[in-house]
Amino acid sequence: MIRPMEPRDKEPVIGHVRATGFFTPAEVAVAEELMDIYLEKPEQNDYRVVVIENDRKDAVGYMTWGPTPLAEDAYDIYWMAVAPSEQGKGRGKALVRWLEDEVRCRDGRMIVIETSWQPKYNGTRQFYIDL
């Protein structure tokens, strides 16, 4: 199940972000800052955060997304991470498919995804290509 992030999800999700080994401490801090903006300022429209649950209702992955600045009907995936123990189970694909449906409902025309060209991101780039 994919649902909006709740305050109780923040610590486990930050743990998953760290556990992936892909994000630097500065990047983890930014991911956490965007979660805080979303949780503390529900009236803002720049960032949305959703989590994906496992069968036990634990948040095992998340995605931060929002409208692309200065672009009409376009949306960015800012951050996405899935707990290492849950990778390969379709959680990331489900998050992206959920966003595709959400963007369609908003009459959006494009989703922007950026990632690093560092070798450790080869699998991440392939994940997006294979969608």
Q: What is the pLDDT of residue 117?
A: 74
**How close are the terminal C-alpha atoms of the chain, in Å?**
19
Q: What is the pLDDT of residue 47?
A: 96
Antiparallel, parallel or unpaired: β 110-113 and 59-67 = unpaired
**At 44, phi and psi to the nearest 5?**
-70, 155
Q: What is the pLDDT of residue 77?
A: 95
Give this prediction's pTM. Answer: 0.89
Q: What is the pLDDT of residue 118?
A: 77
Tokens of 99: 């966003």
Residues lower than pLDDT 50 in the chain = none
Q: What is the pLDDT of residue 127?
A: 74
Beta strands in 1-131 (DSSP E): 2-4, 48-53, 59-67, 74-82, 110-113
Q: What is the pLDDT of residue 52?
A: 98
What is the residue type of 84?
Answer: P
Q: What is the pLDDT of residue 6?
A: 97
